[in-house]
Chain A
Amino acid sequence: MSALVEEPEVAEQSDVLAVRGLTVSVRDKVLVEDVDLTVGPGERVGLIGESGSGKSLTALSVLGLLPEDVHAKGSVRLAGIDHDLIGADERQLARIRGRDLAMVFQEPMTALNPTMRVGDQIAEAMLIHRTVPNRRAARTAATALLDRVQLPGVARAYPHQLSGGQRQRVVVAIALANDPALLICDEPTTALDVTVQAMVLDLILQGVAARESALLFITHDLAVVATICQRVLVMYGGRVVESGPVHEVFTNPRHRYTEGLLAASDLDSAAHRLPTIPGNVPAAGNFPTGCVFRTRCAHATDICTTTPPWTGSASSGFACHHPAPDLVALETRRSSREVADD
């Protein structure tokens, strides 16, 4: 994809977020390569991948929060912002972060300020962006937000007085305080117990739905993505290997990695032994050239040393030289043959 060629591309009005040809590298190592990603208004998109797949780096590049000496190339456009987020300076980004674009991180204790009451932290998010007229209005709004995440009366508490799930709900309240156009969640429930996870996920969905915000949800948990997202992108080795509607990708995976991942995580229907993907996930930046999955793939051949082309449309497709059979197509063909036999 010729993302590096300067073309006066008009950000499509329909997309809240449009990432084109995103490449993230540190010194000579490429960590994320040529990622395209769009999120429509009110759409809920999941980004799944294992450690080192580049899913968190993708989110951090969108927010302009990459660590020093990690560099992003490509284009990141956000609806309503007239400049590219990549290459924007800190002042421009600071105006966008927390207002148009909000993020919920995995660890709520490090995301909150331990020396500030949680109500003040929520109010601060609104005061900094001047989305409320004054301090008193901010405080009232903060209390209302805390009520919405079912934490009434904790505005004067400090983060250490709250449990993990309560803290994460405070972080969600801060993220939603300015009605962002896009909410990015990076593994928001990984550190939480399942019963708490159910509640936090539900609150995130309710908050997003009430504001008609778009959601980009990053996780390694396939079941969580299937429960809350409409569309999913599967990342491996810094590339998007497959994308499409959740139901399609999870019932009819075409990339061999997606296929293996689904089989390995299916603890319910598997008999005594689980199907596995051989080998280990390589360390970030050490994935093979060509197809990133070829060193662990049972179907790999010589052609896999070349980068597989993208098959399908921009929003639904896969990048694999030896894709798994298309179950839906097979089924249709079989049924049409049966009809012909009759």
Chain B
Amino acid sequence: MTEPAIQVTDLVRDYPRPRTSLLRASPPVHALRGVSLEVQEGERFGIVGESGCGKSTLLRIIAALDRATSGQVVVEGTDITRLPERRLRFLRENLQLVFQDPMSSLDPRMRVRDIIAEPLVVQGHPASGERVRELLDAVGLSADAGDRYPHQFSGGQRQRISIARALAPRPRILIADEPVSALDVSVRAQVLNLISDLVDELNLTLIFVSHDLSVVKHVCSRVAVMNAGQIVETGPTADVYAAPTHPYTRRLVSAIPTLQRALSGATTTDLVKGVLST
């Protein structure tokens, strides 16, 4: 087996809290408490958890947007945890992010073609109009979309622009942080299909973070369930979904209302029972 695309070992991140007492310091927030995981090259890896479980902190450290308190992140054989900012260029080219809210992650005063070309310009590549058109085409937007501004697009189209921007420097790893949570159901399916197709076509390694286990189940082959700064369960998505072993995962799975279960007569009492019994 080749070396994993991403290897995280015993990652800890504590955030200091502002002092509220003169006599003693406030206890720190333990956002990550010893997280270890391995993502193989070309794998579609999902991370699920509720708000505050540390999944965004984990992503930020993997993308070197934040520094770990202790532990190690190795991306494609290079330990990035102690590297200075100026030596992270390889990471910025190979690992790209798509965020949840496409409106706040796109500069409202830039034209779409400049938004998509920016990662190329920043990394010193020639940003040709041809490459931008190619990217717009890859995400299913017309070529004249490049002349317009983000506010002229709907939520789904904006998320396509974010994806085009992420793909611009030809990354090998794509990290998507709740990419469809802000989208309507009818558009969500389009964006999920698009991410799926691009990952296949470009042979990307995908890390897909969501609070929605059913979305992760659809996109990813392996999943890690996080709770309170720790990974409580990892495994093939179908197995984790069908037969969760950790009590927290069981609670999570049983609390999700699904159409099938509802139509066969499940009530909210059943959902709550699932949450309380485990």
List A residues at the B interface (Cβ < 8 Å): 50-51, 164, 193-199, 201-202, 205, 220-224, 226-228, 246-247, 250-251, 260-262, 264-270, 272-277, 280-281, 283, 296
Contact = CB atoms under 8 A, between A and B. Distances in A.
B21 interface: no
A265 B156 CA distance: 15
Given A50-B185, A227-B257, A280 B268 contact: no
Given A195-B255, A226-B262, A226-B263, A205 B268 contact: yes
Nearest to A221: B257
Contacts of B26: none
Give the top 5 A-B pairs by smallest Cβ distance, nearest first: A226-B262, A198-B271, A264-B189, A193-B50, A50-B184
Interface residues of B, number: 41
Of listed A201, A220, A246, residue having the most chain B CB within 10 A? A201
B154 interface: yes
Interface string B241-278: 00000000001100111111111001111011011000
Contacts of A164: 51
B188 A264 contact: yes
Nearest to B184: A50
Contact of A281 (B186, B218, B258, B271): B186
Contacts of A276: 186, 189-190, 193
Nearest to B186: A277
B275 A198 contact: yes
A164 B50 CA distance: 12
B269 A267 contact: no
Contacts of B192: 274
A197 B218 contact: no
B262 A227 contact: yes
A270 B218 contact: yes
Given A226-B263, A273-B193, A281 B184 contact: yes
**Secondary structure dominating the interface of B:** helix
B189 A275 contact: yes
Contacts of A223: 256-259, 262
Given A265-B189, A272-B196, A220 B258 contact: no
Interface stretch (B75-83, B122-130, B209-217): B209-217
Given A198-B255, A223-B258, A267-B214, 15 more contacts: A51-B155, A193-B211, A194-B256, A195-B255, A198-B257, A199-B272, A220-B185, A223-B259, A227-B261, A264-B188, A265-B189, A268-B217, A274-B189, A277-B187, A277-B190
Contacts of B155: 51
Contact of B217 (A266, A267, A273): A267
9 contacts: A198-B272, A222-B185, A250-B259, A260-B186, A264-B188, A264-B189, A266-B259, A274-B218, A277-B189
Contacts of A251: 263
B57 interface: no
Interface of B: 50-51, 154-157, 184-190, 192-193, 196, 211, 213-215, 217-218, 251-252, 255-263, 266-269, 271-272, 274-275
A227 B218 CA distance: 22
B274 to A, nearest CB: 8
A251 B272 CA distance: 25
Contact of B211 (A194, A221, A275): A194
Contact of A227 (B184, B186, B252, B266): B266
Contacts of B217: 267-268
Nearest to A51: B184
Contact of B275 (A195, A261, A265, A274): A195
Contacts of B267: 205, 227-228
A45 to B, nearest CB: 15
A202 B268 contact: yes
A311 B266 CA distance: 30
A280 B185 CA distance: 11
A164 B275 CA distance: 18
Contacts of A224: 257
Nearest to B218: A267
A195 to B, nearest CB: 4
A268 B214 CA distance: 7
Nearest to B216: A267
Contacts of B51: 164, 193
Nearest to A277: B186
A296 B187 CA distance: 12
Contacts of B260: 268-269
A201 B157 contact: no
A265 B263 contact: no
B193 A274 contact: yes
B154 A280 contact: yes
Nearest to B272: A202
Contacts of B271: 198, 201-202, 227
B187 A280 contact: yes
A46 to B, nearest CB: 11
A251 B256 CA distance: 20
A288 to B, nearest CB: 15
Given A193-B211, A250-B259, A272-B196, A201 B268 contact: yes
A114 to B, nearest CB: 20
Nearest to A260: B186
A264 B185 contact: yes
A274 to B, nearest CB: 4
A283 B156 CA distance: 12
A50 B252 contact: no
